[in-house]
């Protein structure tokens, strides 16, 4: 995981460094502009879909294992609530926020009638930030899955 975090940070730094050298007319229109906008849209979709997909997968797995163990829906919901409100989950959320901010700044800086960034430069920044956010989403999913496992063990012990 350390290599993944380093890679995400390095990629983001490279993209941000490239922004300082962007030509104001670079990628201003035409096919490159359209391709860059498509890259931005795809990156934003990935960032938006990741947590929903992970949460649905986790809830499905918990529902299956919970049904086999005789847990009520309330018990399952409580396990998820505790995992999502845990300090470890929120620590990962804090790590994610700078990347989300950078992503949003790149999107807004490349939009509007007088953009401060070219679409191509913004696409590089958005992709780098989206990659970092997706990495943290994956770590959050793994964390919650482990937490639910720990919480479910406590529920089993309590039930005995």
pLDDT tens digits for range 68-78: 888 899 998 89
Element (H, E) at 42: helix 30-69
Low-confidence ranges of the chain (pLDDT < 50): 1-25
| Stated length of the chain | 160
Mention every residue, 6+ apart, whose C-beta is less than 8 A from residue 122: 36, 40, 106, 107, 109, 110, 115
Separation CA 44–CA 101 (nearest Å): 13
Separation CA 115–CA 156 (nearest Å): 57
Decide: 26 and 121 in contact? Cβ < 8 Å.
yes
Identify the pLDDT of residue 119: 87
Residue 20 DSSP label: T
């Amino acid at each position: 995981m350390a290599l993944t975090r380093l890679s995400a940070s390095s990629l983001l730094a490279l993209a941000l460094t490239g922004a300082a050298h962007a030509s104001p007319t670079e990628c201003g229109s035409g096919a490159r502009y359209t391709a860059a906008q498509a890259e931005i849209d795809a990156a934003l979709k990935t960032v938006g879909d990741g947590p929903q997909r992970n949460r649905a997968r986790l809830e499905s797995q918990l529902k299956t294992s919970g049904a086999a163990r005789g847990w009520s829906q309330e018990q399952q919901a409580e396990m998820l609530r505790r995992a999502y409100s845990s300090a470890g989950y929120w620590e990962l959320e804090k790590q994610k926020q700078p990347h989300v901010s950078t992503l949003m700044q790149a999107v807004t800086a490349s939009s509007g009638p007088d953009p401060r960034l070219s679409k191509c430069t913004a696409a590089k920044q958005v992709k780098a930030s989206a990659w970092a956010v997706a990495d943290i989403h994956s770590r959050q999913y793994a964390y919650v899955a482990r937490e639910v496992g720990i919480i479910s063990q406590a529920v089993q012990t309590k039930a005995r």
